[in-house]
Every structure is written in structure tokens, then in C-alpha cells.
């Protein structure tokens, strides 16, 4: 379980694997902030509730990650702790725990500008779930 990076000329992608759909979404979010910053330096000081909608699991994954990215960009939050409370019927509810960026302490490794729909995939495998997602950087 976990994730690997897909190296691409213009962009950066992730392949994620997990035991179930909920943890796949958590893995994807963890990977997102692992790419953006150093997870070890992020403390959980506040929590945000997140609700998004989407036509299918793929769109929900993009919406979930884009919502986290939005909070990162506008409120300068870094997250490391994720929970999916419910997922299904075109809705996702979850929480993200983390803290506001401290300029002198945290590092920003990669600026991710958007989570895209390109080659997007969320799939049930024999032994769990897999996902593929590409970021615009």
C-alpha cells in the first residue's frame, strides 16, 4: 500500500494503492502533501471538515484533493492527517488535520497548481483499490 510518483515531462503524477476506497482517498491526500512539503514537520493543530460532490469516484477524488489544495493556497494550511467519514452516492465527507504554514519552519518542495482529470483512474482490484492522478505543476 502507499503511493509512487509518475514522472512526466510537464507534470507530476501519482499511483496510489490501498485496502479500501476510504483509505485510498486518505493515501492520495497524504501523498499530495508529501509532494508539497515535508510531512514530518507538519503538526496537527487544527482540523477542517470537507464536503465535496462528484458524479463518480474519479470526480470525487479530484474534488477532494482540489479542496485541500484550495485550503492550502488561500489559508496557507498544510495537512497530514485525513479521515473519510462517508463516501458514496456522489458525495464525500471527510476531515483534514494540519496547521498553518510557518514560513521559517516548513518547506515547500513543489507548487501544485491543480489536480487534473487527465488519465484519472479509481479502480477496484482483487486485493484492494488503486488510483492514478496527475497534477498540474
Q: What does the binding site for other proteins look like in residue numbers (CB under 8 A)?
A: 5, 7-12, 55, 59, 63, 66, 70, 73-74, 76, 108-111, 113-114, 116-120, 136-137
- To other proteins, the closest distance from the beta carbon of 49 in angstroms equals 16
Identity of the residue, 23 or 25, whose beta carbon is nearer to other proteins in the bound complex:
25
Alpha carbon of residue 31 to chain centroid:
6
Torsion (CA) 126, 127, 129, 131 in degrees, nearest 10? -80
Q: Which residues are registered as beta bridge partners of 108?
A: none
Least distance from C-beta 111 to other proteins, angstroms? 4
Give CA–CA dist 112/114, Å, rounded. Answer: 6
In the complex, the smallest distance separating the C-beta of residue 81 from other proteins, rounded to whole angstroms, is 21
Question: Quick one: DSSP state of residue 56?
Answer: S
| Cα–Cα distance, 104 to 113 (Å, whole number) | 22
Of 74 and 89, the one with the shorter C-beta distance to other proteins is 74
* Distance in Å, CB of 107 to other proteins, minimum: 9
Nearer Cβ to other proteins (22/132): 132
Neighbours of 67 (CB within 10 A): 19
Is the Cβ of residue 19 or residue 76 nearer to other proteins in the bound state? 76
Amino acid at each position: 500500500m502507499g503511493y509512487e510518483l509518475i514522472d512526466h515531462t510537464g507534470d507530476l503524477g501519482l499511483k496510489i494503492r490501498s485496502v479500501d476506497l476510504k483509505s485510498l482517498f486518505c493515501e492520495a491526500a497524504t501523498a499530495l502533501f508529501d509532494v508539497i512539503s515535508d510531512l514530518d514537520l507538519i503538526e496537527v493543530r487544527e482540523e477542517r471538515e470537507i464536503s465535496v460532490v462528484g458524479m463518480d469516484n474519479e470526480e470525487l477524488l479530484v474534488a477532494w484533493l482540489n479542496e485541500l489544495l484550495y485550503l492550502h493556497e488561500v489559508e496557507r494550511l498544510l495537512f497530514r492527517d485525513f479521515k473519510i467519514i462517508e463516501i458514496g452516492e456522489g458525495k464525500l465527507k471527510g476531515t483534514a488535520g494540519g496547521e498553518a504554514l510557518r514560513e521559517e519552519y516548513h518547506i515547500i518542495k513543489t507548487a501544485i497548481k491543480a489536480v487534473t482529470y487527465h488519465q484519472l483512474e479509481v479502480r477496484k482490484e482483487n486485493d484492494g483499490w488503486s488510483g492514478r492522478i496527475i497534477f498540474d505543476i
